[in-house]
Amino acid sequence: MSTSCGHPLSPTSLRSRPSHRTARVRPAAVRRREITLHDQRVTFLEAGARSGGPTVVLLHGLASSSATWGSVLPLLGRHAHVIAPDLLGHGESAKPHSGDYSLGAYAAGLRDLLLALGPERATVVGHSFGGGVAMQFAYQFPELTERLVLDASGGLGPDVTLALRAATLPGTAAALQLATALTPRPVADLVRRVARALPGVPAADLDGMSYALASFTERDARHAFVQTVRSTLNWAGQRLDGTGRLYLLADVPVLFVVGSTDTVIPTAHTRAAHERLPGSRLEVFEGTGHFPHSEHPARFAAALLDFLRTSRPAAPDVRSLRHRLRHPDHDVLTPR
């Protein structure tokens, strides 16, 4: 197994290759790997294992896979050891009917993957549902977390698109099976091409929906999706709100990324979380939907690499964590 320790980027490591030129340098090679954990297959994409840079983990959203990071991985891999797993029930990873699809289980699974692969600590990047997993990981395993990046993240407020709320209703699995049966892949591709021609519809959002629909042709994937949705959402919206524990991240460098025209999760959730966490950073991608990293991979990679270069990784500190648990209103949760 390849290993890489989490070291911060030195100020000089990017000096001759500025972050804004990320897309112009030769991209790093990306390879797909597989490991067995707890008798279950876990697949992941990897780049930059020998870069000498810090370890960065990229977590995808619901009904997605590591493929969503396809344009970002080669850019980041020049300067970091990047690992993008297919979460349990997604992509090419196992989809057990008896699987635990809760946020806590996903966070524990990520811990096990990192320990098995070798990196001691990591900067964890989560998109949408993956953002909720990333926050949960930081809460459960602060000793393994160097930084946190929340990309159009869930878990920061109750509101979410109607389609995801509807997925919590009884009969969702059967409805998804019917939808995929009535919408063959060629038809779905045609609809996507037509929709792409319409103004105001981000292509990356359409690609995300198209991928999700294609994945639902697999019975086990439909089951995993329904179980995951019901563990985090209900008809009223997101059941789990991580803002009440943001104060625990006071010593962790946090970067929020959001698209100004996100129609899946309100941009206001991210802006409010940024205001509640002094010291955090906010990158707003104007005119961008729910997939900032897909719509603007070069800009996303540049922002992330700059964040790695200009922030110091969090140091495990039990005393500080104990103090914040005992005095949650001190230092944090005060508007900027």
Residues noted as catalytic? 128, 262, 290
Answer whether 207's CB lies under 8 Å from 217's CB.
no
Between CA 93 and CA 114 the distance in angstroms is 16
CB atoms within 10 A of CB 102: 16
Between CA 78 and CA 47 the distance in angstroms is 8
Between CA 24 and CA 124 the distance in angstroms is 25
Answer whether 270's CB lies under 8 Å from 326's CB.
no
E strands, 12-163, are 30-37, 40-47, 55-59, 81-85, 122-127, 145-151
Core vs surface per residue 143-160: b (16+ CB within 10 A) or e: ebbbbbbbbbbbbbbeeb
Between CA 175 and CA 171 the distance in angstroms is 6
Answer whether 284's CB lies under 8 Å from 273's CB.
no
Q: Does the CA dihedral 197-270-124-297 come out positive or negative?
A: positive
